[in-house]
Amino acid sequence: MHPRHFSCDAEIEHIAGRFLDHSLPSEAWTHAAHFAAAFALLRDPARDAPREMPALIRAYNEACGKQNTDSSGYHDTITLASLRAARAWLDASPGVPMFEALNALLASPYGRPDWLLAHWSRDRLFSVEARRGWVEPDLLPLPF
The domains of the chain are located at 9-132
Separation CA 25–CA 29 (nearest Å): 7
**Measured torsion, CA atoms of residues 111, 114, 119, 125, in degrees rounded to the nearest 10:** 130
What's the whole-model pTM score?
Answer: 0.94
Separation CA 118–CA 36 (nearest Å): 22
**Measured torsion, CA atoms of residues 42, 43, 45, 46, in degrees rounded to the nearest 10:** -60
Whether 71 has a pLDDT exceeding 80, the answer reads yes
Q: Specify the pLDDT at position 1.
A: 43
Q: Specify the pLDDT at position 3.
A: 58
Q: Which tens digit of pLDDT belongs to each residue from 82-128?
A: 999 999 999 999 999 999 999 999 999 999 999 999 999 999 999 99
56 in Cβ contact with 20 (< 8 Å):
yes
